[in-house]
Amino acid sequence: MFERFTAAARQVVVGAQAQARDLGHDRIGTEHVLLSMLAEEDGAVARLLRPLDLATARADVRRIYPSDRPDLSFTEADDEDAAALKAIGIDLDKVRAAIEESFGAGSLRLPKPAPRKRGIFGKFYASGGHIPFSPRAKKLLELSLREAIRLHQNFIAPEHIMLGLLREGEGLAARILADHDVDFRKLRADLENALKNEAA
């Protein structure tokens, strides 16, 4: 199946892994695929999804699906929490300064986990290890192939991947699109038109 992927579609898959890794997630979901397509600002998918952009979608993913690696640095401490702690004599800035003075700057941030051992000789991969696709993300990629076949096209472009995402329709990416009032029918028609123009 991957031999049919265009260079841009392969970049979507590679970018999805990078998005998952950047967010500290242990698997690649539909949301990471969406983020990867939005990262290509000049790509047809990102243009068709405007005004939704990468920063907004990443914020949505962080809100709905927080990182597996929490940050203890107090940098995003809620103002109400900080005020409540201050009322009982605890100043977060002073606590942070004292900890960093004792243990070094940035010591409250958890380090990235070490790469897992792989292979029979226990070699480590420099990339930080492979992040697997969730079953829903795998289904999305299979549906992108079905969309290409339905449109009588022998290649899979990012637009086909987006069509697969819309067809799957139940993942976190679909939820983000729905939350931003994306009209799935209109987007589907626009994607198909873009593909017809690309194939011509």
Write out pLDDT tens, residues 163-179. 999 999 988 999 999 99
Range with lowest mean pLDDT among 12-16, 42-46, 99-103: 99-103
Question: Cα separation of 127 and 18, whole Å?
Answer: 10
Query: CA Rg, the chain, in Å?
Result: 21
Q: Hey, what amino acid is at 102?
A: S
Write out pLDDT tens, residues 111-165. 444 444 444 444 434 445 678 999 999 999 999 999 999 999 999 999 999 999 9
With cut-offs at 50, 70 and 90, classify the pLDDT of residue 197. confident
Query: Tokens 């897992």 correspond to what residue?
Result: 116
Question: Cα separation of 30 and 157, whole Å?
Answer: 16
Structural domains of the chain ordered from first start: 2-68+128-199 (1.10.1780.10), 70-111 (no CATH)
Residue pair 18/36 in contact by the 8 Å Cβ criterion = yes
